[in-house]
Amino acid sequence: MSRLALARAAYDAVPLYDPKRTPVALDLTDNTNLWGIPPHAERTLREMPTAAVTRYPTLYAAELKAELAQMLGVTPDMIVTGCGSDDILDSAMRAFGEVGDMVVAPEPSFAMIPIFARMNDLQYTGAVELPSQQPDLDALLAARPKILYLCSPNNPTGTLVARATIERALAEAPGVVFIDEAYAEFAGASSVDLLAQSDRLLIIRTMSKAYGLAGLRVGYAVGAPALVEAVEKSRGPYKLNALAERAALAALRDDRAWVDEHVALAIQLRERLSDALRERGLAPLASAANFVCVPVPNCVAVGQALRARGVAARPFPGLPHVGDTLRISVGPWDMLEQFLTAFDAAMQEVNGGVAA
């Protein structure tokens, strides 16, 4: 019997996530914190006692949940943690979706959503976003989904989903609404206050972006206690390792000023990068995240030409209403200057230069 025949049939159409990225000197593809790890979190890791490694972590990261709850103004029973926000999304689909239930999401959006749906034997359908880069909520609701996913700010466009759209989704969706707020710190906007109005809302967040802990995989979600309990059952115990929990606690307790400072800097440099791209005759999309998505002809070839120069940005070919684009993570200005120099050369090589 073949190995494939032993796997669940639902896995036949599930690809391995593989962005095929060769290492480069300057990688601007992941939207992580390019200023590094917060200082107190780093010190905590350096001073970690051996017992923290040789013993199991806490069952459900109760201390971290309490700290996150205090930050968000909710109670600890409204918080669930996980091994990155991916773990939360996967566990939540498993918790709320029966076999064959419908998951819907705008397109383009986070590429793992259809994969997680298929992994959990759920149906998935996407609805192309509107020309405004807002979700086509009529199309999403028409599918009568058990799970409706929205990413705000959206990945890869950086667009903040309109508040009215989120409120209507909560009012009219027949099942659970997931709001992915991986980039909320850079947007200055959140749907956490809507938890008081709906017990069918789950807001998913991460400490991989603003908090610089991507390698430690710290994700969390906030929702009604009944939702959170279901996700917690689905994900199981010991999912957040001891080093990750202690570093996350240090970042939340002692590094908030550092995080806020670098969030503000990322926003400032996001706009500076956008201005530099406009000066080259390009039209970057308005972004509320820590990246810029810019239409670029022949983006895959430009991305390859960038990699040949030791720089990486993420190509997204054929985005609806936009066409070929590059998504560029924001970091220190010297990194962005290095990108712009390589970008000018790549554009000259592939497209004969930029418009400016």
Domains of the chain with CATH codes: 3-34+257-351 (3.90.1150.10), 40-254 (3.40.640.10)
pLDDT at 353: 78
**pLDDT (tens digit, 9 = 90+) per residue, 184-219?**
999 999 999 999 999 999 999 999 999 999 999 999
Q: What's residue 10's pLDDT? A: 77
Going by C-beta distance under 8 Å and a sequence separation of 6 or more, which residues neighbour residue 73?
A: 192
Which residues have CB under 8 Å from 50's CB, separation 6+? none
Residue type, 155: N
Residues in the chain predicted with pLDDT less than 50, given as ranges, are: none
159/162 Cα distance (integer angstroms) = 9
- Give the model's pLDDT for residue 19: 67
Determine the pLDDT at residue 235. Answer: 93
Q: Is 100 helix (H, G, I), strand (E, B) or coil?
A: coil
Bridge partners of 124, per DSSP, are 103
pLDDT of residue 7: 76
pLDDT at 76: 98
As given in the structure block, the two tokens for residue 144 are 């009568």
What predicted TM-score, i.e. pTM, was given to this entire model?
Answer: 0.95
The confidence score (pLDDT) of residue 15 equals 78
